[in-house]
Chain A
Amino acid sequence: MAVALTMAQMKVAVLRHAFHGRRAQTAGTGAALGALFAAGTIYLAFVDPDLLAAGYAVWLLGWMLGPVFMGGGDETLRPEYFSLLGLPPRRLAAGLLVAAFVGVAPLVSLTALLGLLVVGVRLGVANAVVAVPAMALQLAVFVLLSKVSVAVIGLALRSRLGAIASGVLNGAILAALGQIWVFFVAFGQTGVPAAVWYLPSGWGLLAVQGDWWALAALAVLVVLLLGAWAALLGRRAGATRTSARGRRPMTAATVNGAIVAKELRTWSRDLVRNHQLTFALSYGVCFAASPLILGWDGMLPYAGPIFVVMAAAMASNVYGTDGTALWLTLMTPGVSDVRGRQLAWLSAQAPVAIVLTVVFTAITGGPWPLMLALLSALLGGAAGLVPLISVFALVPGTDPHRRAGNPLRTSEDDGGLTGLAYLMLVLVIVTGVPAAFVAVRYGWAGVAVGVLTGVLCYWGFGLLAERRLCSHGPELLDVMRTGRKPETTVKFRLDQLSKTQKSIVWWCFGFGAIPLVPQGIIATVFVANDMLRHSWFLATYMPPGLRYPVAAAFILLGLAMYGTGLWFVRPRPSGEGAAA
């Protein structure tokens, strides 16, 4: 137990250091979102136990699949740290398990598991008493299943076959979840499927409802999973095999050719990228094909576009995953690294996307204009956004040669990675909207629009990314080297102000909205609609000739307050930074 407690203390210490500045904000946002989901789950306990069981099934899947997309899950304490201590694997696993309970995600999940207590209390004293160990065991099952699935995928990612297989599987599972309605309709299911009760996520609920054996089953499962994890931890320490395959010689003769050759080799040799690509492919195909179960093929042609969007999200941190190798780009100014990467991304993804779209659209017999418009718009949009987002919102990655035993863990800031992936999903979809709109309304003209927006995105976003890389290259390298983003400059400027200036700024920013919005803009609307003598809107109490002038004066006052605040914190050249 001493080992476990020490590890838990270590984790607390690390978390206290890590949760500062931006990381703290990410963690705070995550915790708030999680609390919202937890509250929703507890609410289900009051509504219907069936729904609660389904809710816990979703939590379980989140624990198992989440780490695959969020950079390998929580690895604050890496097993490698303890490899020299000679701990028996089971004690190591038990210690790491206890430490794994420390953190935001377990706390949020425990809150969600309060639903068990709610159900128990409503059924009787004995049920309420059982709920307490059930909560603990259920949480242990969540955490352990997460650890075991990450470890299994980690092992799979040591071979190309494993990387591809796990990518296909994960993509299929996630697509099935997204298209769950198809299965409901197919099985004529109107309520919650009974299966959710028999997943390990439902056992705690079964126990609380009086099936006492389920509590024992949970305990046995915890022991089994702990054993499995201990065994997997032992395998993780082994170094990856050095590859001995023949290498095809690099035949590029131009600068762009060299960058493309380098990128394509990285895509094909990095098993994590293999996994991501097959994941995106499997997701796109499964998502679009699943309605075939119902005999409806209308979604099939979208496999290509969905694949493009997903593949772009997977590449959203393309500069971050290469880490400090950026120094080579900095040492060769005048070479367009961004264009090379765009070309490489396109040449790796576009053939797949084109084949998917053409074949599936041919099978369903259309709609050709919409699909071709979407395909060209999304390909161009994604190829433009991938370098742009990864340069502007860089999440510092761990250098490839310094990564530990978990290949999914490409950065310490997994919250940032997840956010970036979602941002990319949304933005890439947005680049497809104009073409899709025109194609739906006017048919083939949409393809022209798609090609046009695609080319514009590719060219324009690429140009912006290139400029940013030129102007901020050393800063980006510094972020990657230290793993820290620089503090926001506004805060820095606020620090430089005197006390009086600071309070003026706070007053201006804090209360500028009052004259501007309610007393200014909203009051104007009221006056315009003849809604007079309205609560506290001063202008509505004025004699007719003064109503608009008073509201206008408030708007001016509000703008002046914001202007004053901004003027105090405006960027100004100082002695430092002159060299920049």
Chain B
Amino acid sequence: MTPALEISGLTKRFGDNLAVDHIDLGVPQGSFFGLVGQNGAGKTTTLSMAVGLLRPDGGSARIFGTDVWSAPERAKAMVGVLPDGLAMPERLTGREVLTYLGLLRGLDKDVVRQRAEELLAVLELDGAEKTLVIEYSTGMRKKIGLATALLHAPRLLVLDEPFEAVDPVSAATIKTILRGFVAGGGSIVLSSHVMALVEQLCDHVAVIDKGRVAAAGTLDEVRGARSLEDTFVELVGDQDTGVKELSWLSH
């Protein structure tokens, strides 16, 4: 079966820094794929290149077999993206953002209205009808971002740090939505540095370290008998195991 997302040899260099170094990854259809790594490991850069937001120096990315860079129109219609920290049309309300994007995605006006209604209700954003996105809290921004990713019912979701700054109640809601999406045949790639979350949600996982894939496979293949956190620290942690303390902090 064609992978939902196939990354081969993606490379990106910023000046002297090789941010992503020939990464190969395959996300099988129907899988919940976790991408873990330290800050600056290259997760966001990899995902940006995979969905066509950042031009790679080399390599390719295919969404359900369609190349993101040579056939962007077809590839991008099949994916919903939640980038980390990018702006939105800031002077619109949540409902207006969804209406605008839905029309941009070529959906019918009535379909857009109905889906926007449901998404705002499920994500509990319908209480902020008059609030512009620029006035949203960080957690609300994540939620409206997720709504825009889901709006056109894509078959693949690429989510960069979807749970950051989201309160526990909303997080539970989002988890339910995402699990339902996978159960319905959808595929998800999410990046995170919270190991417990990835362990709880994902069935596949890849560990990225210094722009390379340190380990990849099903969750059980990667972590073995240990917890994902222990495996992760062993894979990417410094060899120096002594925990550094701040002597001046203890009285």
A-side contacts of B217, CB under 8 Å:
none
Q: Which of A270, A324, A401, A477 has the most CB of B within 10 A?
A: A401
* A10-34 contact mask (Cβ, 8 Å, vs B): 1 or 0: 0000000000000000000000000
When C-beta atoms are compared, the residue in chain A nearest to B59 turns out to be A579
In the assembled complex, the Cα of A92 lies from the Cα of B128 at a distance in Å of 37
- Which of B57, B95, B141 has a CB less than 8 Å from the CB of A576? B57
Q: How many of chain A's residues have a CB under 8 angstroms from any CB in B? A: 47
In the complex, the number of residue pairs spanning A and B with C-beta atoms less than 8 Å apart equals 123
Which of A192-200, A237-245, A432-440, A521-529 touches B?
A237-245
Task: For residue A158, give the distance in angstroms from its CB to the closest CB of chain B.
Answer: 13
State whether B103 touches A325 (Cβ < 8 A).
no
State whether B90 touches A325 (Cβ < 8 A).
yes
Q: Is A247 an interface residue (CB 8 A)?
A: yes
In the assembled complex, the Cα of A261 lies from the Cα of B73 at a distance in Å of 23
Task: For residue B128, give the distance in angstroms from its CB to the closest CB of chain A.
Answer: 9
A-side contacts of B73, CB under 8 Å:
333-334
Task: For residue A279, give the distance in angstroms from its CB to the closest CB of chain B.
Answer: 19
Q: Is B83 an interface residue (CB 8 A)?
A: yes
- Which of B57, B59, B103 has a CB less than 8 Å from the CB of A258? B103
B-side contacts of A266, CB under 8 Å:
89-92
State whether B53 touches A265 (Cβ < 8 A).
no
B-side contacts of A240, CB under 8 Å:
135
When C-beta atoms are compared, the residue in chain B nearest to A271 turns out to be B91
A-side contacts of B86, CB under 8 Å:
324-325, 327, 399, 481
Task: For residue A84, give the distance in angstroms from its CB to the closest CB of chain B.
Answer: 19
- Which of B58, B96, B129, B141 has a CB less than 8 Å from the CB of A265? B96
State whether A325 touches B52 (Cβ < 8 A).
no
Task: For residue B110, give the distance in angstroms from its CB to the closest CB of chain A.
Answer: 9
B-side contacts of A481, CB under 8 Å:
86
Which of A37-45, A248-256, A550-558 touches B?
A248-256
Known: A255-B103, A258-B104, A325-B90. A331 touches B54 (CB 8 A): no
When C-beta atoms are compared, the residue in chain B nearest to A474 turns out to be B55
A-side contacts of B72, CB under 8 Å:
333
When C-beta atoms are compared, the residue in chain B nearest to A397 turns out to be B87
Task: For residue B15, give the distance in angstroms from its CB to the closest CB of chain A.
Answer: 9
When C-beta atoms are compared, the residue in chain B nearest to A481 turns out to be B86
In the assembled complex, the Cα of A243 lies from the Cα of B72 at a distance in Å of 38
State whether A242 touches B135 (Cβ < 8 A).
yes
State whether A250 touches B96 (Cβ < 8 A).
yes
- Which of B59, B87, B148 has a CB less than 8 Å from the CB of A323? B87
Known: A324-B86, A474-B55. A331 touches B81 (CB 8 A): yes
State whether A243 touches B87 (Cβ < 8 A).
no
Q: Is A475 an interface residue (CB 8 A)?
A: yes
State whether A269 touches B91 (Cβ < 8 A).
yes
Task: For residue A431, give the distance in angstroms from its CB to the closest CB of chain B.
Answer: 29
A-side contacts of B69, CB under 8 Å:
579
* B190-217 contact mask (Cβ, 8 Å, vs A): 1 or 0: 0000000000000000000000000000
In the assembled complex, the Cα of A145 lies from the Cα of B98 at a distance in Å of 44
State whether B99 touches A579 (Cβ < 8 A).
no
A-side contacts of B135, CB under 8 Å:
240, 242-243
State whether A244 touches B134 (Cβ < 8 A).
no
Q: Is A174 an interface residue (CB 8 A)?
A: no
B-side contacts of A242, CB under 8 Å:
131, 135
B-side contacts of A399, CB under 8 Å:
86-87
State whether A327 touches B53 (Cβ < 8 A).
yes
B-side contacts of A577, CB under 8 Å:
57
Q: Is A2 an interface residue (CB 8 A)?
A: no
In the assembled complex, the Cα of A578 lies from the Cα of B100 at a distance in Å of 35
State whether B59 touches A259 (Cβ < 8 A).
no
In the assembled complex, the Cα of A253 lies from the Cα of B76 at a distance in Å of 22
Q: Which of A252, A258, A325, A578 has the most CB of B within 10 A?
A: A258
Known: A331-B52, A578-B58. A262 touches B92 (CB 8 A): yes
Known: A250-B99, A261-B100. A322 touches B57 (CB 8 A): no
A-side contacts of B54, CB under 8 Å:
474, 477-478
- Which of B52, B81, B89, B95 has a CB less than 8 Å from the CB of A262? B89
In the assembled complex, the Cα of A324 lies from the Cα of B53 at a distance in Å of 11
Please, could you name 15 A-B residue pairs with CB atoms under 8 Å apart, sorted by A?
A250-B100, A255-B103, A258-B104, A261-B100, A266-B89, A270-B91, A324-B87, A328-B89, A399-B86, A399-B87, A401-B133, A474-B54, A481-B86, A579-B56, A579-B59
Given contacts A252-B103, A332-B105, 8 further A-B contacts (CB under 8 A): A242-B131, A247-B129, A266-B92, A324-B87, A327-B87, A333-B72, A474-B53, A579-B57
- B: which residues have CB within 8 A of A? 13, 51-60, 69, 72-73, 76, 81, 83, 85-93, 95-96, 99-101, 103-106, 109, 129-135, 141, 148
Report the 10 A-B pairs with minimum CB-CB distance, sorted nearest first.
A258-B103, A325-B87, A324-B86, A269-B91, A400-B90, A399-B87, A474-B55, A253-B109, A323-B87, A266-B91
- A: which residues have CB within 8 A of B? 240, 242-247, 250, 252-255, 257-259, 261-262, 265-266, 269-270, 322-325, 327-328, 330-335, 399-401, 474-475, 477-478, 481, 575-580
